[in-house]
Structure 1
Amino acid sequence: MEEEEEEICKTPLTNTVIVVCIVAGSSGVLYGYDTTVSGVMMMTPFLEKFFPAVLAKMRDPKEDQYCLFDNHKLTAFIASMFIAGLMSSLLAGRVTRVIGRRFSLITSGILFITGNAFAVFADNVTTLLVGRLFVGFGIGFANQVCTFYIM
C-alpha cells in the first residue's frame, strides 16, 4: 500500500494534466460567472431596453420596494438559465456516455458561447430568453461533465 502511494506521488505533472485541470475548473467558474451576470437586471440601460415597466416602478417613490420586480418576463429571464441548467445536467451523464467526456465539454462550451451570442445581440426579451436557455444548457452540461473529467 505504501509503495503504491509513493509511486503515485512520483508521477510527473505533465502539461496535459494541467490543461485538463484548468478546463475542468473553468466549467465550475461558468456557473458562478453567469449567476453574477444576472445582476445586470438592476442596471438602468438594461431595464430601459427590455423591462421599462420595472424601471418605472423603481423610479416611483410610492412603489413598495418588495414588489419592484413583480414582472413575469423578468422572472422568466432569471429562472430560464437555472431551469435549463437543471434539465441539461440530468441529460449530461447519458450524453457523455454516448459521445465521451471531451466532446461533452466541447458541446457545453459551444452551447455557452451560442447563448452569450444570443444575449449580446438581443433586441427583444424573447431573444434574450433563448440566449439564457442556451447558457443554462451549457452550464448544466459543464457542471455535470467536469466531475467526470477530473476523475
Structure 2
Amino acid sequence: METTITAEHGQSGFISLVVIIASLGGLLFGYDTGVIAGANEFLKALFHLTPAQTGLVASSVDLGAMIGVLVAGFLGDRVGRKNALFTAGITFMLSGVVSALAPNVPTLIVGRLIGGIGIGLASLLSPLYIAEIAPPRIRGRLIGSNQLAIVTGIFIRRAVKPRRLGRGYEALTP
C-alpha cells in the first residue's frame, strides 16, 4: 500500500510539472495578446506606421494563429504532441528574435506572424497533451490550468504597463 501512495505521489508531481510546462503556451498566448496594445505608440513613432500598417502589425498574430491551429493536429499526429509543443516553443523564440531585430514593418509583421503560428500550435496542442497525460479524476482541473495560464498572461501584461517603464525602447520589454 505504501509503494502505491509513493508511486502515485511521484506520478502526480511529474504530471504537475508537465502540465505547468505545457501551460506555458497559454501564458505566452495571453501575454502576447496584450503586448501589442502597449507597444502601438512606440511602433507608430519608430516605423512611422499608417493606421492600416498598425492594424496589419496587430492582426498578423491572429493570422499566424489561424495557420498554427490548422496545422497543429497534423503536426501533433505526425511528430507527437510533445515534439509539436517543442516546435511551438521554437516558433515563439524565433518570433521574439525576428520581432526584436526587425529593421522594417514587413519584417516585424513576419516576426509576429511566426509568433502567431506558435500561439496556434500551443492553443490546440497544450490542452490536448494535458488531457492525454492527466489522470481521469483530475483531467478537467488540469486542462483548466491552461485556460488559467492564458488569463494570467493577459493579467501580467496589463500589470506591467509601458507608461510605467518610460517612452523609449524599454516600453517594449516586460
TM-score range, shorter chain: 0.7 to 0.9
1:135 to 88, 101, 115: 115
Structure 1 residue identity aligned to 2:31 = Y
- TM-score, length of structure 2 as denominator length: 0.66
- TM-score, length of structure 1 as denominator length: 0.76
Unaligned runs of 5+ in 1: 1-6, 54-70
Matching of residues 56-75 of structure 1 within 5 Å: 71-75=51-55
Structure 1 segments, 4+ long, off by >6 Å, are none
Q: Is the 8 A contact 1:85 1:138 kept in 2?
A: yes
1:81 corresponds to 2:61: yes
Structure 2 residue identity aligned to 1:117 = V
Structure 2 residue identity aligned to 1:36 = G
Aligned to 2:148: none
C-alpha distance in structure 2 between counterparts of 1:140 and 1:36, whole Å: 16
Aligned-residue RMSD, C-alpha: 2.0
1:112 corresponds to 2:92: yes
Q: Is the 8 A contact 1:20 1:149 kept in 2?
A: no
1:11 corresponds to 2:18: no
- Identity %, equivalent residues: 31
Question: Which protein has the bigger helix share?
Answer: 2
Q: Which has the larger radius of gyration?
A: 1
Taking structure 1 as reference, are residues 138 and 41 closer, same or farther at Cα in structure 2, changes over 3 Å only? Answer: same
Aligned residues: 126
Structure 2 residue identity aligned to 1:148 = L
Aligned to 1:40: 38
Unaligned runs of 5+ in 2: 132-174
1:21 corresponds to 2:19: yes
